Structure 1
Amino acid sequence: MPDALPVFGAPPAADPPGVLAACDGSDGSLWALDRAMTEAQLFGLPLYVLAVVNPSPGGYPPGMVELVQEGIDRMTASMADGLRRAVATVQAARTQPYTGELALHVVLGNVIEVLLSCTPGQHTLVIGTRGNGGFTRLLLGSVSTAAVHHAACPVLVVPAPPAH
């Protein structure tokens, strides 16, 4: 089933409003995705899963985009495959699989800017405390901190489960 899920290259619209889950494939984002599935199921809302690819944080000089487009396309396809695997992994671990409406989105751009631009009109944004970025010693990562302070909808920050 996960291989059949289409991945859209546009940000999710909040029509209808739903639960927006940020997913970068990190453990934290998988825990957040699981909670987002629970929230969407509980409220009977669609689940929008968003991954953002930022191929060049500093931007490209003029004329470079055409030269690196193939690499960008490969990165986007790889993130789409990873997003499908993330959904399948979380679904397989759940005692009650998510059965509601589900849409996957891989978008190019700055992670924080894209994520925040998708929050107006959404019911909830669900995000992990830290993703694949550095500085794991921080309580909240830069993306989750920005979301808490600037999202246009309620934000649910999901911590790591307790160690056994």
Structure 2
Amino acid sequence: MREPFPVLGEPPAAGRPGILAACDGSDGSLWALDRAMTEAELFRLPLYVLAVVNPSPTGYPPGMEELVHESVERLTESMADGLRRAVGTVQSARERPYGGELSLHVVLGNVVEVVLACTAGQHTAVLGTRGNGGFTRLLLGSVTSAAVHHAACPVLVVPAPPAG
């Protein structure tokens, strides 16, 4: 059986501008993904959905990298499954399914650095106001804030829908 959303382990190709949606599975990133689908359809551009896995923010002690390789693979596979579910969830909630070109990308690295690097050459980056970080009191998440200030393309920040 062919998987509905193949996941690439590399950033979006630099040559073809599109709409970049950073998705970590949080509610904010799902709202942003829905808006990114709308933007991609409106501008008839490919949609690149990006998830970033940072398995060790502080690095590995000498000799440990080989030992944790299998865990990193499992973590990456889990993120890929979560990304597929996120796209499926947003698809099923839309009035009409997204019909444009779509690719999923799970990339290892520092989240802010990878997202900023992936904005190069893109039409627009679409992000939610907050992701899965632990500081919910912040108005903008650290990734979104970094993108607003340092992205190489325009950034669309999608707020939470009104309560009610």
1:139 is the counterpart of 2:139 = yes
Counterpart secondary structure, 1:125: strand
Moved over 4 A (4+): none
Answer whether contact 1:3 1:84 (CA < 8 A) is retained: no
* Percentage of pairs with the same residue: 79
* Residue of structure 2 in register with 1:73 after alignment: 73
After TM superposition, the score normalised by the length of structure 1 is: 0.97
Residues in 1 aligned to 2:83 and 2:2: alpha-carbon distance in whole angstroms: 9
Tell me, in whole angstroms, the C-alpha distance in 1 between the residues paired with 2:148 and 2:13.
20
For 2:153, give the aligned amino acid: C
User: Deviation at 1:63?
Assistant: 1.4
Q: Taking structure 2 as the reference length, what is the TM-score of the superposition?
A: 0.97
C-alpha deviation, 1:15, in angstroms: 2.2
Q: Which residue of 1 aligns with 2:6?
A: 6
The structural deviation recorded for 1:4 is 2.3
> Deviations for 1:84-105, whole angstroms, at most 9, x for unmatched residues?
0000000000002110000000
Contact 1:2–1:85 (CA<8 Å) still a contact in 2? no
Instruction: Tell me the SS of whatever aligns to 2:65.
Output: helix
Q: How many pairs are equivalent?
A: 164
Structure 1 residue ranges without an equivalent (≥5): none
Aligned CA RMSD, in angstroms, stands at: 1.2
Taking the TM superposition and a 5 Å limit, the aligned residue runs for 1:121-140 are 121-140=121-140
